[in-house]
Structure 1
Amino acid sequence: MTTTPFSQPSTLPHGLPPFADIRDEHFAPAFDEGMAEQRAEVANITRVRSMPTFENTMEPLERSGRILDRALHVFFNKSSSDSNDTTNALEEEYAPKFAAHNDAIRLDSQLYWRISTLWEGRESADWTPEQRYLVERWHTEMTLAGAGLDDEAKTKLSELNARLSTLTTRFEKNLLADTNELAVVIRDRAELDGLGDGEIASAAGAARERGIEDAWLVTLPLFTGHPWLASLTNREVRERIMTASRSRGIHGGEHDNREVLLEIVRLRAERAELLGFASHAAAVTADQTAKTPEAVAGMLERLAPAAARNARAEQEALEKQAGQPIAAHDWALFTEKVRAAEYDVDTAALRPWFEAEQVLRDGVFFAAGQVYGLTFEERPELQAYHPEARVFEVFEEDGSALGLYVLDLYTRDSKRGGAWMNPLISQSELLGIPTSIVVNNLNVPKPPAGSPTLLTLDEVNTLFHEFGHALHGLLAHVTYPRFSGTNVYRDFVEFPSQVNEMWMLWPEVLANYAKHVETGEPLDQGIVDRLHASEQFNEGFSTSEYLAAALLDQAWHRLSASEAASVTDVAAFEAAALAEVGLDNPAVPTRYSSTYFAHTFSGGYDAGYYSYIWSEVLDADAVEWFRESGGMTRANGDRFRAFVLGIGGSRDPLESYREFRGRPAELAPLLKRRGLE
């Protein structure tokens, strides 16, 4: 085997990958070495002649694949945050190989027999609760993956999985390329009227990085639209930006995602049928807290009519302000005008109070210190995967080290859109890994050198949200790697991060970080009060655009195999799906249209985009508990850590939530929050 930087655990602090030594050419041999090693390790388990025990089956299975695990965590972080032609080609080449490798383990009949035998004897087994849950999860996942199928069906299943892995990778690469190509070039500075000097400078810098002189470049975020639509006064420019955003993946050429999407839908439905499910949504939700697509539909469809009515009322108010019909590219601008008129709040004008370093250190880190007792120390001598990524060491209240936190704040052409958290190293007692390393990626426009980074209110919220995922990854303490960090049900994983958003406007936290970047003046309490008063403002739009995307995701994935085979027109299907649930208002487009819906066609949220609002039921209920229980106290933080963050995926999350709250979560707090009572 070829030795690579992944062949042995890193000797750097907390096992930080040796990024100074890692080259693109190391990935392929590491993948090959890692897959071969894990196949041999699984073969050693299945060739054991004695009856299965936890010690001779589950423990070696959990120990397996360490080289591959180290290489994949580094690679997929790089391919999403700093991709290049080499990593793109590698991802396309290895996607079907990884799918085949996973199938070789998940569909292994002998391994399945051993785990099934353990599960059948669970009542007499002397296991810890975490061990019992580990056997349950492996048995359930292998069963649902098709381990019980006959050999012919398994062969077909593996072919489908391999093809799907190639298609989802292609969808993501097409989207990144199209997003870059459709960025809007502005030649006349006057057309940027309404933007601040920092935003204009960022657009000029983006153009220079592309080699475009005497121009400004408006790069596109992942979602429909653009934050700057709330400020730009030139309607034609706003329309150009909105049109570019909504054109991704549908304008023909090599990056058109329509045929890729249709094949993904057809193959997912075919795979679900092979596994004995009516649809891909049924197959996915069977192993989530929702359990059935009918449960998901029941919730989403209950919320949609009220959200649509609220959005129509908001539209009428905007049209009254504008004195004209409101199009999608007008909504954000006139929303801010109405917000200013009704609540005397101009969110764009608040950016000088949200300087990024203050938000990070005096807001995000401060809140984690107050609630969980954590402290953070920047380690500039530790090299991350990109010069803009910063490394912080995290410490417990008693001074013991908890791990490393990496922040990669700025947008760049090599980074996919959106914001996310990735683990690089995950704690596990079994593997002797005492701490974790997590990464947060955002896409904030980079200001010129020497200028402060001023965040929008939404970007501040995003940083608090993603840091909630980071806390989940850092604070989880488990025995088995299967349960490390955020390895929980997909429709539960957003809950801890949503709770962390609460601290953004919490009085002690806001007062600590929201200070004017030049004068140090705190944000006026009157403005804060008006921000709180306007919290439900525009919720009809926000809820409608989200629900439209969630229901669109369900519509694609609730198709049977025969129904999926008959769909040939992406736009027509999308229009019909949105009309059916009453969310087809042209002024309120879906947050993600099908051809740039990365969450569902390449991001692992297929039939699962509902997870955000499903988790928000728990979030709203938990926030209510914090308020009732004294708010920002160490005791409350310790309880939330004990029952949610600290357990990782090592027990049933809803059972744990019931213990935390003293009862199951209730829907009423969410309805109140979103104005949907």
Structure 2
Amino acid sequence: MTSAEAPALPADNPFAAPSDLPYQLPRFADIRIEHYRPGFEAGTAEHLAEIEAITSNPEPATFANTVEAMERSGRLLGRVLYAFFNLTASNADDEMLALEEELAPKYAAHNDAIKLNPELFARIDAVHRQRNDAGLTPEQLALVERYHTDFVLAGAALNDEQRAKLAELNRRIAELGAKFGSNLLKDTEASALLLDSADEMAGASPDAIAAAKSAAQAKGHPDKYLISLILPSNQPLLADLTDRDVRARLYEASVNRAMAGEHDNTVVAAEMAQLRAEAAQLLGFATHADQIAADQTAKTTAAVDAMLGQLVEPAMRNARAEARVLAEVAARDGINLEPWDWAFYSAKVSAEQYRVDEAALRPYFELDRVLHDGVFHAAEKLYGITFSRREDLQSYHPDVRVWEVFDGPESDGKPIGLYLGDYFARDTKRGGAWMSAFVEQNKLFGDRPVVVNNLNIPRPPGDEAALLTLDEVRTLFHEFGHTLHGLFSDVTYPRVASTNVPRDFVEFPSQVNEMWVQWPDILANYAVHYQTGEKLAQQHIDAIKAAELWGQGFATVEYLAATLLDQAWHRLTPGDVIDDPMDFEQQALESAGVAMELIPPRYRTPYFQHIFSGDGGYSAGYYSYIWSEVLDADTVEWFKASGGLTRDNGETFRRKLLAVGGSVDPVGAFSSVVGHAPDITPLLRRRGLTAEPSA
């Protein structure tokens, strides 16, 4: 569509003008599905017209008339897409998913029309060549570098034939990404385990049983119980269910999702990987993994391999040691240990050896108490911010709550932004947990952030309390770490705001925020029995700490298996033919040294949403979690050595790292906080990878 064909967007379309709600929170009550397509069409046309105005400018290219003009473009399209892609992830019915499959390739084509525009790239390239003599600020220099890299990696330097080929590859990859996500959502729902009686859920907590009863009723099975699946292979109830047959059925339902039939994702994933390999070669890279690493802090796949290589052997050693312990415990019950038994007997070891009873802990981790007196409280103590519930602001689903966030009194209590919390699982939400934004902070337009956290905690029936596992508590703190990265952004330009940092750096601030889960002052404030008001006893806290290294072999191997599987898919070259994707998966795990029958990858190929769904934001980048954890473990030691939960430490971390987004070198920002280059040793100590575990 050319700018001359730009459709007029009716004034009654909610996207026609910026929202007049506080912080430009979208007017969710007014947005209907029929508003997205015309909003998208008008937005893409307007954006192309703005780009045409830049390229047709007769004046020589400057930062102001080219790069900053790019930052000012696409506002209408941004309003549409921030809402649309957030809701396709968190509140999508079949009609919404079908629209995503239609619009995703069109959006990929639109991006290509801009990034493969030779006239536009010529102007960006001219600004880039003159950048050091143009009197630019450090942030402006970073922005020029960012745009130039974006365009080069997108193929702007290719010839006409190559650009056309790349655009076609990108369009097809986008189609497949949308299809992968749709298949996974539908098959995960279809694979939920339907049980005939509560007896089959023996061992599960009363609220888990009630949640399964409620889920079955919602699906038209009033006398049955429905266990919905979460995204990772390992389902939480595998640790609790005493019926071994039910455990096996739940495990098989989880690891065999989207592997055949109508929603088969194996062929989708294989085609995506092959197309990415072809696109990477067009861009001059040996593989897609090489292309991705070039724009990360890692820089090369060799650096990624070197880091992962330090972890495989000790992780497998510890996992095998854990397996021997579990096999002995299972043998007492006459059980030959199988994958669906691992979590169950691991929980037994925790309870027997470390006196950690996960089920007994859950009443101390009530969602709202953890949120207000844990997550918010830690942020208030460390950063001086406060939270005020905005019940007058309507979100996109009744479950979603909205808070306004304010700075501390030393900053005159100025407003920072809005925080939305969407914590409960539902059929219209994809699995996992994540943070995203509806509005990103920037001074160019004076926008303040509107960020959302999504979790998938089973919704308790009626008004019953939502009780969390310890892992879910960590997830809540983790995702809020991303939120702080978004809320504290303090830059001029949108492209370098918030979490717009290299993929292998983006998890770092969120992982650091997990340290407050067990910080004594914070834990004592939120770990309170939801019925009796009793604080979690010190003996339980000590037991949790003593058990921290137990299970790290399993956790590290399941993560490394997924990471190395991601790398294997994205080390393909265009000539590679994958006849059987699941056979390829097995061979990849064996070649990487992480094939262990008792421990499946955290995500198998058909449900590896991180790398294949939507834009595949973590493709060849799932390693970034452990890469970021190197920085995280090092930073946690800095916090502890510097006095822990203090306002001075919080201010240092906020100003030097969280606030700067992508406007500075990320590793330089890290070093400016801790005072030295990254060191992997604290991570090895944290995960117990320096010695074999005992139990």
Secondary structure in structure 2 of the residue aligned to 1:562: coil
Contact 1:411 1:443 in 2 (8 A): yes
Paired residues for 1:334-353 under 5 Å: 334-353=345-364
Alignment pair present for 1:608 and 2:621: yes
Instruction: Look up the match of 2:408.
Output: 397
| Superposed displacement of residue 608, structure 1 | 0.5
Aligned partners of 2:141 and 2:132: how far apart in 1? 10
Aligned 1:394-473 pairs, distance under 5 A = 394-398=405-409, 399-433=413-447, 435-473=448-486
1:656 corresponds to which of 669, 675, 688: 669
Partner of 2:9: 2
**SS of the residue aligned with 1:394?**
strand
Given residue 64 of structure 1, which amino acid in structure 2 is its aligned partner?
A: S
The CA distance in 1 between the partners of 2:177 and 2:57, in whole Å, is 37
Contact 1:363 1:509 in 2 (8 A): yes
Q: 2:552 aligns with which of 518, 532, 539?
A: 539
Q: How far did residue 549 of structure 1 move?
A: 0.2
Contact (CA 8 Å) 2:370, 2:527: kept in 1 or not? yes
User: Retained in 2: the 8 A contact 1:394–1:403?
Assistant: yes
Q: Which amino acid aligns with 2:329?
A: Q
Q: Which amino acid aligns with 1:535?
A: E
Structure 2 partner of 1:296 = 304
Measured after TM superposition, the shift of residue 325 of structure 1 is: 2.7
Name structure 1 gaps, 5 residues minimum. none
Q: Does 1:370 align with 2:381?
A: yes
Residue 186 of structure 2: aligned partner: 177
**Partner letter of residue 386 of structure 1?**
H
Give ranges in structure 2 of 5+ residues lacking alignment: 1-7, 691-695
Partner residue of 2:646?
633
Tell me which amino acid in the other structure corresponds to 2:280: A
Within-5 A mapping of 1:252-271: 252-271=260-279
Deviation at 1:339, TM superposition (A): 0.9
Residue 301 of structure 1 contacts residue 581 of structure 1 at CA under 8 Å; is this kept in 2?
no
Pairs aligned (count): 673
Match status 1:316 vs 2:329: no
Task: Return the match for 1:214 from 207, 219, 223.
Answer: 223
Give me the whole-angstrom Cα distance separating, in 2, the residues matched to 1:13 and 1:189. 47
Q: Distance in 2 between matches of 1:339 and 1:366?
A: 29
Q: Deviations over 1:501-522 (max 9, x none)?
A: 0001100100001000111000
Whether the 8 Å contact between 1:133 and 1:651 is mirrored in structure 2 is: yes
CA distance in 2, matches of 1:608, 1:156: 24
| Aligned-pair CA distance for 1:581 | 2.1
Aligned with 2:337 (options 322, 326, 345): 326
Separation of aligned partners in 2, 1:567 and 1:107: 30
Q: Which amino acid aligns with 1:666?
A: D
Q: What residue in structure 2 maps to residue 62 of structure 1?
A: 71
Which residue of the other structure, out of 495, 499, 502, is the alignment partner of 1:482? 495
How far did 1:662 drift?
1.2
Tell me what 2:160 maps to.
151
1:381 corresponds to which of 364, 387, 392: 392
Query: How far apart, in 1, do the equivalents of 2:198 and 2:671 lie?
Result: 56
Distance 1:258 1:594 in 2: 7
The answer to whether the 8 A contact 1:225-1:241 is kept is no
Q: Does 1:224 align with 2:233?
A: yes
* AA at the equivalent of 2:205: G
Please state how far the C-alpha of 1:123 moved relative to its aligned partner: 2.2
* 1:7 to partner: Cα distance: 1.6
Runs of 4 or more, structure 1, over 6 Å off, are: none
> How big is the shift at 1:450?
1.8
Could you list the per-position Cα deviations for residues 190-224 of structure 1 after superposition, in whole angstroms to 9, with x for gaps in the alignment? 11100111110000011111111200000001000
TM-score by length of 2: 0.96
Counterparts of 2:132 and 2:366 in 1: how far apart (Å)? Answer: 57
Corresponding letter in the other structure for 1:476:
S
Contact kept in structure 2, 1:504 and 1:510, CA below 8 Å: yes
The amino acid across from 1:660 in the alignment is V
Q: Is residue 2:605 matched to residue 1:598?
A: no
Cα separation, 1, equivalents of 2:123 and 2:593: 50
**1:618: how far off?**
0.4
Hey, what's the Cα distance between the residues in 1 that align with 2:636 and 2:196?
47
- Give deviations 1:476-529, integer Å, cap 9, x for gaps: 111001012111111100000000000011001000010001110000011101
The letter of the residue matching 1:296 is V
Q: Which amino acid aligns with 1:281?
A: A
Contact 1:187–1:215 under 8 Å retained in 2: yes
The one of 38, 53, 62 equivalent to 1:44 is: 53
Paired residues for 1:62-141 under 5 Å:
62-141=71-150
- State how far apart, in whole Å, the 2-side matches of 1:345 and 1:358 are: 21
Deviation of the 1:301 alpha carbon: 2.1
Greater Cα offset, 657-666 or 311-320: 657-666
Letter in 1 for 2:575: S
Give the letter for the 2:356 counterpart. Answer: V
User: Residues of 1 paired with 2:164 and 2:593: CA distance?
Assistant: 42
The offset of 1:129, in angstroms, is 0.1
Give the corresponding residue for 2:289. 281
Q: Deviations over 1:423-445 (max 9, x none)?
A: 00111111121x11000010000
Letter aligned with residue 307 of structure 1? A
Task: Tell me how far 1:340 sits from its aligned partner.
Answer: 1.2
Would you say the 8 A contact 2:266–2:582 is kept in 1?
A: no
Query: Equivalents in 2 of 1:581, 1:264: separation in Å?
Result: 22
One-letter amino acid of the structure 2 residue matched with residue 454 of structure 1? L
1:614-629 to 2 correspondence within 5 Å? 614-629=627-642
Q: 2:500, 2:305 → 1: CA distance?
A: 25
Tell me which residue corresponds to 2:574: 561
TM-fit CA distance, 1:225: 2.6
1:418 alignment partner AA = G
Give deviations 1:137-159, integer Å, cap 9, x for gaps.
Answer: 10111111110000010000000
User: Which residue is equivalent to 2:174?
Assistant: 165
Root mean square deviation, CA, Å: 0.8
Is the CA contact (8 Å cut-off) linking 1:272 and 1:283 kept in structure 2?
A: yes
SS state at 1:660 partner: helix
Tell me the distance in 1 between the aligned counterparts of 2:516 and 2:484.
Answer: 13
Give the percent of matched residue pairs that are identical in Structure 1 and Structure 2. 53
For the 8 Å contact 1:475–1:641, the answer to whether it is kept is yes
Kept after mapping to 2: 8 A contact 1:409/1:443: yes
Shift of 1:119: 1.1
- 2:549 and 2:658 map into 1 onto residues whose CA distance is 28
Q: Which moved more, 1:253-262 or 1:159-168?
A: 253-262
Q: Which moved further from structure 2: 621-630 or 598-607?
A: 598-607
Query: Which whole-Å CA distance do the structure 2 matches of 1:6 and 1:431 have between them?
Result: 17
Structure 2: how far apart are the matches of 1:113 and 1:488? 25
The residue aligned with 1:20 is 29
Q: Output the CA distance in 1 between the equivalents of 2:247 and 2:159.
A: 56
Q: Deviations along 1:61-100, whole A, 9 cap, x unmatched?
A: 1010001111101111110101012211111111111001
Give 2:75's aligned amino acid.
Answer: R
Shift of 1:183: 0.4
